[in-house]
């Protein structure tokens, strides 16, 4: 790793490539993908610094002349240092002190002073190197990476004094702004915040109704409630995050390798995991140590024919789990010891050996070195993998080591990816180089620790970010100012992904296709995902006849026209609503449906359920419940499901939730019962059927989402990747070719044509004036009304062909930066 | 893209400057599917079809013909190209890597990117490299144009897409795809059914509307970047140069010469675009599994037809470029992912699976007559213009089977290095991706074949 930042954004230089800057490297550096090289015999011998010189310097010179040890005052960490030392005469090895010293016959002079001297061929290489101008890429240095953070999460100095309602993220950000003397950005308007949050969390534009009701909402914690309600839309959430995970896990619905079984989809497993918001540690354990449904990720892509040794499936495994879960680039080290960081060939092969079915011969740059790889985890301090075990057990061990709470890198990597998705730039950047220093190490570790404490609940982290003040603040331009040091000024403007753009256009124009291509079972979307919860007592140490109280509080803005609770407890329960006992259940296999309508009130409501376990053996008491309510018979149901957002207490309490003497008791977050308690699964589905009986009209099937259909040429053009490589970041600016596809491509034109007809129909149906029509389009697309000038510009009263007029208006709007950027 | 972790890839550090370009435009004429050298540009012992003929006795299924260059013979069916060979160089010793089983898309990926798939980052097509490193020659003409290959509705389409891409360079430098040359104009004119007036008005309104957006709603920098791309697109769609895409504007006489096939039309389009200022154009006979050059059976008959498709347009392209004074600065390369043989699959000793669909040791019917196996040991490449030598022959394959390159073998890396060299790009030019350099030729090791230059 070089001390200077290697990825300085050069956003301006993309279009205006300056040929004068096209300096070219003299020597070939590695990417070591050579399978076949032929060349004329007379070609001039070249010195390849990385392969020929760097290993010599590292082996023979670095110990005494780099990283704080500068014997004889000589430092050779970089080319500049070496030249400045005066020990090199460029172009003439015979006049170079360095050369004299490595060839000296005087043992006092000879370098290195200890160990074997340079071999004849090494000496020849050094001579050629000096004569050819001492080529040495600036990004390679002998200087060890300066920044190193401990593997375990560091406690953060979050003071107790921050108020309960304050988001801890803002504490860190405020501190940061103060230290760096940065003016905090102003707050977003309601509509802008809603738009950003819904696009970021669910990938969809807010509807006009959502905008209005949010703007009208006067309650103090409306932002928090908005985020909670967005994150509770499980299906929208799962559909949206499919794109993110498909990119990361190389999963797609068609593509290289699927036809001949060289690759396997994990679509069904992935979508279901997102619907359930599967805890991230469990999610990763199921990927690394997979069931048949999740096996596709570590299987990789088997190409027909011969592939480079660094690209066989076990090495793909090594590279992909390192990159995706740890932000480690193992691609270099899959061929040779890395030149950019400390990872070595044996590290890459150590991971690969865990999954290899057969003994794995280590290859350096596609040539076997006569060694066989042994299983090894990248952080040996966390534990080892026993290579003598069968593959399945090795994978099991790896899945534990990867997701152990002590593996801070694991939690940091995912919270950093989520922060990047939400704010446009990583706390550590780029997101795949987690060794880099964050602009706020305390915030990084706080978020990581917070994720761990919350049982790897990714929605919790998203909620934490989305409810922070900084997330609610105005975006800052991403244009980089200081090349050497990034300063955080606020959330960055993001560009819609291909899927976000297409979904938005589809909703605006009613032009989504009828069917999805992703193989997810249709029932999945409606399946109840209430979770069995219990106290945090380890299951088998719970007392017999354990009694636990569960609590859920929620607010109503208007009276409920219908409200039910469907619940069951293992084994019995009693339900109170706002202090009134409403129902009991005795048979845990038969969920009880209770009518809550008359017991609910406007404002805060409290549901308390007492769960008692029968049986003589130690055994925990579990609860599974759904609360459904709506404000009018035709409205959609709002659903509250049992999950870790519920609270529990084991202290005896009264119906009002206080102890016998009227004092408040301590409530703690309930715990979700780990999967594997199979007997519970059956009951879940009976809750589902009780629920669907309640719902007079079933939930409408949501319109098809772009993430679930095979990519088309427009989505491809807009940056939806071929998923043959892991992709963690999408392009952030609109290219000319993309603009071209948007300006005259048939795909978009057809959608807008459908949209134009729809809007004309709506106009007729609602007897809108032309201006009202434009207002309606603006509200749906931009979440605001047009101003006078905009109305004037879009006035189409004189146009004969109305369809064309509306097509143009729709096109104009969806082409606006305001539409395509998430600000 | 993973590679674009932050901003554009940068040139890796550097010490020497680029070579002086001998060409400004590159046209790649792609013979997708594996063009059999012994039946096209490298005639060998010929045996006409007859029942009872032993397959091992057949190397060429066409007789040799003379060309305008004394020492060079071609096979029957290439009479027009034979007449322009004095304008270029014929390489007969192009060789490809043995990738185990033969899979066209993998070899095509290798040929088009210089790297064998799979790769840990998405490798760019050579056209994308040129778009990135050289930019468009005329801002109104996309820098990388791909003519004739459908990416939807054909076999192996996902594999084709994998290399029809700018990869880690970013979509800006990807191909402008024109599968049907006679419909190319539709890609550069206002959407179907939109009059130029409406199109122009729409754009004018766009400019005004953009300025109405309140500053708080979108940052200036991002807005400007988007609007710049929209303006570029508009310029392209309304520029006078776009008539170059319209084949109906070509005089009938000339059009007819080219109009042998979609490939022939593609050659015409390539000529028109070169005149208008294109940077890199690929014209393909289109790869569709088991179609065109991909002769797993009926080889002779199919190749006869393919030669008909290419002979006249290729020759005319060279003559037209020359007549317009463009040939000197336009590099034309005709190549294929590998050659074919009657007997050998891959190269001798390869483990590749035999894929002939008309296997016969002794021929009994016409469909068995042809070169039905994939051969990576020696194929032919034609190069014209752009500083390449004239009337020259380079390299040689054995006259007897196996017809391996026995003189001056040219690898994909070295051929690419030659092409890049002609375009003024050093073969070890590299861009940083994921903190490591990625070179225009594999590992920066391609060596231009100096003898190919004039």
From first to last of its 454 residues, what are the pLDDT tens digits of chain B? Answer: 333 333 455 565 444 457 899 999 999 999 999 999 999 999 999 999 999 999 999 999 999 999 999 999 999 999 999 999 999 999 999 999 988 888 898 999 999 999 998 888 889 999 999 999 999 999 889 999 999 999 988 888 888 998 999 999 988 899 999 999 999 998 898 888 899 899 999 999 999 999 887 766 666 777 888 898 999 899 889 888 899 999 999 999 999 999 999 999 999 999 999 999 999 999 999 999 999 999 999 999 999 999 999 999 999 999 999 999 999 999 999 999 999 999 999 999 888 888 899 999 999 999 999 999 999 999 999 999 999 999 999 999 999 999 999 999 999 999 999 999 999 999 999 998 877 789 999 989 999 999 999 9
List strand residue ranges (DSSP E) for B5-52, in order: 25-30
Claim to verify: residue A131 and residue A48 sit in the same structural domain: yes
3-state secondary structure A104-144: CCCCCCCCCCCCCCCCHHHHHHHHHHHHCCCCCCCCCCCCC
What pLDDT is recorded for position A540? 53
Question: What percentage of residues in chain A have a pLDDT greater than 70?
Answer: 86
- Report CA-CA distances (Å) from A219 to A195, A213, A557: 19, 12, 10
Cis peptide before A297 (omega within 30 of 0): no
Q: Lowest-pLDDT range, A110-114, A358-362, A613-617, B252-256?
A: A613-617
Answer whether residue A678 shows pLDDT above 70: no
Which of B118, B188, B218 is opposite residue A311, by nearest beta carbon? B118
A689 within some domain = yes
Q: Over chain A, what is the mean pLDDT?
A: 84
Q: What is the CATH number of the domain that holds A671?
A: 2.60.120.260
Q: How far apart (Å, rounded) are the C-alpha atoms in residues A488 and A469?
A: 14
In a domain, A479, yes or no: no
The pLDDT value recorded for residue A11 is 31
DSSP, collapsed to helix, strand or coil, labels residue A568 as: strand
Structure confidence at residue A150 (pLDDT)? 93
In chain A, which residues have their Cβ closer than 8 Å to the Cβ of B114? none
Strand pairing class (B73-75; A668-669): unpaired
CA distance A626 to A645: 13
Among B11, B190, B439, beta carbon nearest to A23 = B11
CA nearest to A263, candidates A246, A247, A277, A251: A251
User: If you average pLDDT over residues A487-506, what whole number do you get?
Assistant: 95
- How many other C-beta atoms can be found within 10 angstroms of the C-beta atom of residue A709? 18
Where among A694, A720, A747 does a domain terminate?
A694
Q: Range of A755's domain? A: 736-822
**Spatial distance between the Cα atoms of B1 and B123, rounded to a whole number of angstroms:** 12
Which residue from B424, B423, B422, B414 is spatially nearest to B448, judged by alpha carbons? Answer: B414
CA distance B223 to chain A (A): 6
Is the same domain home to A2 and A132?
A: yes
Predicted confidence band of residue A701 (pLDDT cuts 50, 70, 90): low
Of A12-26, A314-328, A643-657, A762-776, give the lowest mean pLDDT range.
A12-26
Asked whether residue A547 falls in the same domain as residue A687, the answer is yes
Question: pLDDT value at position B13?
Answer: 46
A512 within a domain of the structure (yes/no): no
For residue range A31-77, what is the model confidence (pLDDT) as tens digits?
A: 333 333 333 333 345 777 877 888 788 888 888 888 777 787 787 88
Under 8 Å between Cβ of A821 and A494: yes
For residue A116, the model assigns a pLDDT of 85
The answer to whether position A441 is within a domain reads: no
pLDDT reported for residue A770: 95
Quick check: is A10 in a domain?
Answer: yes
pLDDT digits (tens, 9 = 90+) for B7-49: 455 565 444 457 899 999 999 999 999 999 999 999 999 999 9
The confidence score (pLDDT) of residue A44 equals: 46
Query: Cβ separation of B220 and A477 shorter than 8 Å?
Result: yes
Tell me the pTM: 0.75
Q: Specify if A381 maps to a domain.
A: no
Beta A572-577 vs A533-534: how paired, if at all? unpaired
Whether residues A3 and A141 fall in one domain? yes
Total residue length of chain A: 823
Rounded-to-integer distance, Cα A375 and Cα A384, Å: 8
In terms of CA atoms, which chain B residue is nearest residue A253? B158
Chain centroid to CA A334: 24
For residue A187, the SS3 value is: strand
For A727-754, give one letter per residue: b (16+ CB within 10 A) or e.
bbbbbbbbbbbbbbbbbbbebbbebbbb
Residues A688 and A741 in one domain: no
3-class DSSP assignment, residue A732: coil
Residue A565 shares a structural domain with residue A646 = yes
Statement: residue A699 has pLDDT above 80: no
Token pair listed for A160 = 């107790």
Judging contacts by C-beta atoms under 8 Å, the chain B residues touching residue A33 are 115-116, 119, 442-443
Indicate whether A548 and A689 sit together in one domain: yes
User: How many Å lie between the alpha carbon of B215 and the closest alpha carbon of chain A?
Assistant: 10
Q: Choosing among A19, A24, A91, which should be mutated to test the B contact, i.e. which has the most B CBs within 10 A? A: A24
Comparing A409-423, A675-689, B187-201, B278-292, the range with the smallest average pLDDT is: A675-689
Rounded Cα distance, B94 and B201, in Å: 53
Query: Is A19's CB within 8 Å of B445's CB?
Result: no
Among chain A residues, CA nearest to B407: A40
Assess whether A686 and A539 both reside in one domain.
yes
Q: Which of A744, A747, A802 to probe the B interface (max B CBs under 10 A)?
A: A744
The angle at the Cα of A754, spanning A751 to A759, to the nearest 5 degrees, equals 120
Q: Which of A189, A366, A293, A129 is nearest to A783 (CA)?
A: A189
Cβ atoms of residues A502 and A695 within 8 Å: no
CA nearest to A609, candidates A549, A533, A534, A554: A549
- Amino acid A8: pLDDT: 31
Structural domains of chain B ordered from first start: 23-188+245-452 (3.40.720.10)
Residue where a domain stops, chosen among A146, A169, A203: A146
Mean per-residue pLDDT, A748-760: 96
Asked whether the predicted pLDDT for residue A300 surpasses 90, the reply is yes
Given this model, what pLDDT does residue A33 score?
34
A19 lies in the same domain as A96: yes
Which pLDDT value is given to residue A624? 84
Cβ contact (<8 Å) for A22 and B158? no
Same-domain status, A748 and A661: no
**Count of domains in chain A?**
3
Q: What length does chain B have? A: 454
Angle A492-A495-A499 (CA atoms, 0-180°, nearest 5)? 140
Q: Which residues of A touch B376 (CB under 8 A)?
A: none
Which residue among A146, A181, A206 closes a domain? A146
pLDDT of residue B2: 33
Q: A628 pairs with which residues across the strands?
A: A564, A639
Q: For CA atoms B244, B247, B248, B251, give the dihedral sign.
A: positive
- Beta strands B330-335 and B379-384 are antiparallel
Q: Counting Cβ atoms within 10 Å, is residue A509 exposed (0-12), middle (13-18) or buried (19+)?
A: buried
Looking at the structure, do residues A545 and A679 belong to the same domain, yes or no?
yes
* Subunit contact A477:B221, Cβ cutoff 8 A: yes
CA distance B253 to chain A (A): 31
For A213-277, the DSSP string reads: HHHH---TTHHHHHHHHHHT-HHHHHHHHHHHHHHHHT--SS-TTTTTTSS---HHHHHHHHHHT
- Tell whether A135 is covered by a domain: yes
For residue B92, what are its two tokens?
Answer: 């007969």
Nearest residue of B to residue A315, measured between CA atoms: B120
Size of interface A-B (CB pairs under 8 A): 352
- Could you tell me where the beta strands, DSSP code E, fall in A638-723? 638-641, 647-649, 668-669, 671-672
In this prediction, residue A24 carries a pLDDT of 29
Residues A687 and A764 in one domain: no
pLDDT at site A73: 74
Give whole-number Cα distances, A287 to A92, A245, A290, A732, in Å.
Answer: 56, 12, 5, 29
**Selected residue with higher pLDDT from A158 and A257:** A257
Domain membership flag for residue A723: no
- Interface check for A145 against chain B (CB to CB < 8 A): the answer is no
């Amino acid at each position: 790793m070089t001390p200077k930042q290697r990825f300085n954004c050069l956003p301006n230089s993309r279009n205006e490539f300056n040929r004068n800057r096209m300096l070219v490297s003299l020597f070939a550096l590695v990417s070591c993908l050579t399978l076949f090289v032929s060349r004329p015999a007379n070609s001039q011998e070249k010195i390849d610094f990385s392969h020929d010189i760097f290993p010599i310097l590292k082996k023979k010179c670095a110990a005494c002349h780099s990283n704080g040890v500068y014997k004889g005052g000589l430092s050779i960490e970089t080319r500049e240092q070496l030249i400045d030392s005066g020990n090199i005469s460029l172009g003439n090895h015979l006049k170079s002190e360095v050369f004299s010293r490595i060839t000296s016959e005087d043992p006092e002079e000879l370098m290195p002073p200890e160990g074997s001297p340079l071999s004849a061929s090494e000496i020849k290489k050094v001579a050629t190197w000096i004569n050819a101008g001492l080529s040495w890429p600036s990004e390679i240095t002998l200087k060890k990476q300066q920044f190193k953070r401990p593997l375990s999460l560091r406690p953060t100095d979050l003071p107790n004094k921050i108020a309960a309602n304050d988001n801890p993220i803002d504490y860190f950000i405020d501190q940061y702004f103060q230290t760096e003397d940065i003016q905090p950005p102003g707050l977003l308007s309601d509509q802008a915040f809603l738009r950003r949050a819904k696009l970021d969390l669910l990938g969809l534009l807010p509807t006009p109704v959502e905008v209005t009701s949010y703007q009208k909402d006067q309650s103090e914690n409306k932002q928090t409630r908005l985020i909670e309600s967005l994150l509770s839309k499980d299906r929208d959430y799962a559909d949206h995050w499919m794109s993110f995970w498909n990119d990361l896990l190389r999963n797609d619905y068609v593509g290289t390798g699927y036809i001949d079984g060289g690759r396997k989809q994990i679509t069904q497993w992935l979508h279901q995991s997102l619907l359930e918001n599967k805890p991230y540690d469990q999610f990763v354990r199921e990927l690394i140590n997979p069931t048949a449904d999740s096996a596709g990720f570590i299987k990789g892509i088997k190409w027909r024919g011969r592939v480079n040794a660094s690209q066989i499936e076990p090495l793909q495994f090594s590279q992909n789990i390192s990159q995706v879960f740890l932000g480690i680039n193992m691609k270099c080290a899959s061929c040779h010891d890395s030149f950019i960081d400390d990872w070595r060939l044996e590290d890459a092969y150590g991971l690969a050996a865990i999954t290899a079915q057969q003994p794995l011969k280590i290859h350096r740059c596609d040539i076997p070195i006569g060694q066989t790889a042994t299983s090894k985890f990248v952080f040996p301090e966390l534990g080892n993998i026993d290579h003598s075990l069968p593959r399945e057990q090795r994978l099991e061990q790896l899945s534990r080591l990867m997701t152990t709470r002590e593996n801070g890198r694991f939690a940091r990597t995912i919270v950093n990816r989520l922060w990047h998705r939400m704010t446009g730039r990583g706390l550590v950047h780029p997101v795949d180089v987690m060794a880099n220093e964050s602009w706020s190490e305390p915030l990084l570790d706080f978020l990581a620790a917070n994720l761990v404490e919350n049982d790897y609940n990714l929605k919790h982290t998203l909620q934490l970010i989305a409810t922070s003040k900084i997330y609610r603040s105005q975006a800052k331009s991403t244009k980089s100012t200081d090349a050497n040091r990034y300063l955080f000024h606020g959330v960055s403007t993001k560009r819609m992904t291909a899927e976000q753009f297409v979904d938005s256009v589809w909703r605006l124009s009613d032009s989504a296709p009828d069917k999805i291509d992703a193989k997810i079972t249709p029932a999945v979307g409606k399946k109840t995902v209430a979770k069995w919860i219990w106290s945090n007592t380890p299951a088998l140490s719970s007392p017999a006849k354990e009694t636990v109280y569960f609590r859920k509080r929620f607010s109503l803005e208007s009276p409920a026209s219908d409200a039910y609770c469907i619940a069951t407890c293992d084994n019995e329960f009693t339900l109170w609503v706002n202090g009134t006992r409403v129902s009991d259940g005795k048979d845990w296999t038969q969920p009880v449906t209770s009518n809550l309508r008359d017991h609910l009130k406007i404002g805060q409501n409290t549901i308390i359920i007492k769960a008692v376990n029968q049986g003589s053996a130690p055994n925990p008491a579990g609860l599974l419940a759904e609360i459904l309510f709506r404000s009018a018979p035709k409205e959609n149901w709002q659903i509250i499901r049992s999950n870790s957002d519920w609270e529990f207490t084991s202290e005896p309490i009264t119906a009002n939730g206080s102890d016998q003497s009227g004092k408040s008791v301590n409530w703690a977050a309930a715990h979700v019962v780990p999967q594997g308690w199979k007997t519970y699964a059956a009951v879940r589905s009976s809750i589902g059927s009780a629920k669907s009986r309640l719902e007079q009209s079933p939930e409408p099937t949501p319109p098809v989402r772009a993430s679930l259909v095979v990519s088309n040429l427009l989505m491809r053009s807009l940056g939806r990747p071929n998923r043959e490589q892991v992709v963690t970041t999408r392009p952030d600016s609109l290219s000319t070719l993309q603009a071209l596809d948007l300006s005259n491509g048939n795909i978009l034109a057809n959608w807008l044509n459908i949209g134009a007809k729809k809007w004309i129909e709506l106009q007729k149906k609602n007897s809108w004036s032309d201006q009202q029509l434009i207002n309606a389009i603006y509200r749906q697309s931009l979440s605001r009304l047009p101003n006078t000038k905009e109305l004037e510009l879009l006035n189409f009263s004189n146009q004969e062909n109305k369809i064309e007029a509306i097509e143009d208006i729709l096109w104009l709007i969806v082409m606006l930066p305001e539409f395509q950027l998430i600000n | 893209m993973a590679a674009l972790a932050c901003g554009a890839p940068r040139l890796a550090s550097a010490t020497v400057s680029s070579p002086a370009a001998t060409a400004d435009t590159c046209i790649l004429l792609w013979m997708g599917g594996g063009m059999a050298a012994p039946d096209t540009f490298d005639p060998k012992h010929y045996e006409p079809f007859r029942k009872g003929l032993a397959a091992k006795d057949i190397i060429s299924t066409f007789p040799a013909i003379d060309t305008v260059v004394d020492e060079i013979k071609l096979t029957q069916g290439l009479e027009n190209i034979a007449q322009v060979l004095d304008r270029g160089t014929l390489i007969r010793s192009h060789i490809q890597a043995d990738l185990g089983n033969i899979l066209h898309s993998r070899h095509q990926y290798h040929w088009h990117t210089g790297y064998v798939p799979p790769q840990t980052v998405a490798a760019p097509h050579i056209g994308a490299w040129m778009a990135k490193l050289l930019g468009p020659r005329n801002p109104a003409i996309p820098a990388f144009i791909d003519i004739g290959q459908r990416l939807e509705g054909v076999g192996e389409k996902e594999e084709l897409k994998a290399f029809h891409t700018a990869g880690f360079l970013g979509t800006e430098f990807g191909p402008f795809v024109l599968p049907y040359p006679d419909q190319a104009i539709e890609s550069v004119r206002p959407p179907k059914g939109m009059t130029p007036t409406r199109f122009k008005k729409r754009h004018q309104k766009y400019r005004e509307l953009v300025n109405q957006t309140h500053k708080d709603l979108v940052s200036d920098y991002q807005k400007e970047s988007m609007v710049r791309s929209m303006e570029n697109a508009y310029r392209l769609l309304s520029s006078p140069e776009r008539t170059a895409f319209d084949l109906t504007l070509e005089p009938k006489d000339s059009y007819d010469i080219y109009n042998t096939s979609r490939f022939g039309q593609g050659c015409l389009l390539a000529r028109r675009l070169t005149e208008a200022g294109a940077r890199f154009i690929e014209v393909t006979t289109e790869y569709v599994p088991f179609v065109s050059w991909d002769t797993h059976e009926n080889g002779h008959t199919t190749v006869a037809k393919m030669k008909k498709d290419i002979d006249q347009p290729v020759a005319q392209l060279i003559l037209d470029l020359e007549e317009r004074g463009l040939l000197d600065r336009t590099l034309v390369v005709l190549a294929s992912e590998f050659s074919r043989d009657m007997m050998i699959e891959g190269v001798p000793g390869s483990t590749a699976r035999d894929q002939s669909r008309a296997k016969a040791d002794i021929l009994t019917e016409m469909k068995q007559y042809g070169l039905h196996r994939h051969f990576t040991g020696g194929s032919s490449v034609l190069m014209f213009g752009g500083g390449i030598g004239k009337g020259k022959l380079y390299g040689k394959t054995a006259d007897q089977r196996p017809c391996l390159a026995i003189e001056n073998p040219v690898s994909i890396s070295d051929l690419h290095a030659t092409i890049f060299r002609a375009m003024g790009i050093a073969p070890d030019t590299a861009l940083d991706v994921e903190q490591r350099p990625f070179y225009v030729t594999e590992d920066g090791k391609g060596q231009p074949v100096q003898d190919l230059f004039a």
